[in-house]
Structure 1
């Protein structure tokens, strides 16, 4: 083998083993967060955050994403979005703006940021950052809305929108446990409602573990059952690495 071919082979090997950094983006009803992750999902940067604008249209949110991404080094992008996502398109966005319906977020970000993009529901991504991968595991995010994700032996059951299903007194889970509901009835009553919701979800799904995340998980004051635990909100970013596995 010649010296040149040896160098070429070494360069190819380096390319094959290059660590791919992921820009994880979490689009929420109150804030937009980003963090750079290494190839195994460990943080390489601090979490940066800016408030979600009002009205939360794509034309207002995308410039914030571009601002947060500026100056960061990454090879690919994962995005958590608060709604149903199909093949990179955002199909619903109850807590953002109707302009997100059938919006090709994947293509828009790829065109602007020059990196491959994968988009998924934000609760799904938070679940990937929290689950153990064994048995039935349910994830609920308590924030502006009520997000949910279901996993069976680590496999995602996609687009589970529990938040808009009936809960009690003619209201949905989101109507009784979203941020607006907490502001209206107070944290004590909100916690009592959450206790009822946990009991109902346990009977419906017979999960091994229920994970409670989202910005309002910090407001939980009730005693949680042994098979229910809270997770850090940063899981909504850390789980982004799973979209590339």
Structure 2
């Protein structure tokens, strides 16, 4: 089965056609800038641009930077607040004429890792953390997703955890891998107390730098890097149809 996966973020809207037999792209990836302001009307126009680019009339899977319940947007952090309570799934279906499924962006990235990446075939409780401009989380038990977790928002060092542990903070404060790695470890210890995962998969841009901070993480936590990296959002968005 082939599905157009769309990964919508605060800075970019990316898409590719995905073969769900193997989770691989069968087209080039196309990226447009996320409109400023990121209003529903402007972003729907960009979705149509992506559809037209691929001349697509099949199913569409979308990852979106918000909590999503029954296809409806419930939060808005890096997008316009007017998105809240908008029926995203129905909006894309109406705009494109395509069967559409939508889910939180980190949840779909987690789906990709569980089905085609580092978590493939694994049972137990697995936590996927995306460390980027913030911290996104996707929690699975025996391959089943528990949607819309916000473990980057737990209290840590007097603020939300992502305010001190996100990769953007490491870059902004020019933290050494040791300083940031130890800070990350402290956060992982706190998260472990909440959900007791058998495995933690680290995604986001820092997944490919895992060897730089691996030695600062408690071995008892069982932490590994994600495998799909920048493809995870698109592949996961499409894999909602599996």
TM-score tier (shorter): 0.7 to 0.9
Q: Does the 8 A contact of 1:79 with 1:118 survive in 2?
A: yes
Higher relative contact order (CA 8 A, sep 6+): 2
Counterpart residue number, 1:234 = 231
Q: Does the 8 A contact of 2:63 with 2:237 survive in 1?
A: yes
Q: Does the 8 A contact of 2:5 with 2:234 survive in 1?
A: yes
Counterpart residue number, 2:2 = 21
- The normalised TM-score by structure 1 is 0.83
Counterpart residue number, 1:211 = 201
Counterpart residue number, 1:99 = 82
Counterpart residue number, 2:58 = 75
Question: How many correspondences in the alignment?
Answer: 225
Shift of 1:140: 0.8
2:170 to 159, 164, 182: 182
Q: Does the 8 A contact of 1:22 with 1:74 survive in 2?
A: no
Give ranges in structure 1 of 5+ residues lacking alignment.
1-19
SS at match of 2:53: coil
Shift of 1:61: 2.3
Q: How does 1:112-131 map to 2 (within 5 A)?
A: 112-131=95-114
Query: Could you say if the C-alpha distance between residues 61 and 186 of structure 1 is closer, same or farther in structure 2, counting changes exceeding 3 Å?
Result: farther
Counterpart residue number, 1:38 = 19
Give ranges in structure 2 of 5+ residues lacking alignment.
115-119
SS at match of 1:140: strand
Measure, in 2, the Cα distance between the counterparts of 1:60 and 1:142.
Answer: 27
Q: Select between 145-154 and 230-239 the one with higher mean Cα deviation.
A: 230-239
Query: Could you say if the C-alpha distance between residues 74 and 228 of structure 1 is closer, same or farther in structure 2, counting changes exceeding 3 Å?
Result: farther
- The normalised TM-score by structure 2 is 0.83
Shift of 1:236: 1.4
Q: Does the 8 A contact of 2:151 with 2:191 survive in 1?
A: no
Query: Could you say if the C-alpha distance between residues 137 and 77 of structure 1 is closer, same or farther in structure 2, counting changes exceeding 3 Å?
Result: same
Measure, in 2, the Cα distance between the counterparts of 1:59 and 1:156.
Answer: 30
Deviations 1:32-54 (A, max 9, x none): 11111124233211222223233
Q: Select between 37-46 and 213-222 the one with higher mean Cα deviation.
A: 213-222
Q: Does the 8 A contact of 1:213 with 1:233 survive in 2?
A: no
Deviations 1:76-133 (A, max 9, x none): 0111111110111111021222111111111111111111111001111111111234
Question: RMSD of aligned C-alpha atoms?
Answer: 2.1
Counterpart residue number, 2:185 = 195
SS at match of 2:145: strand
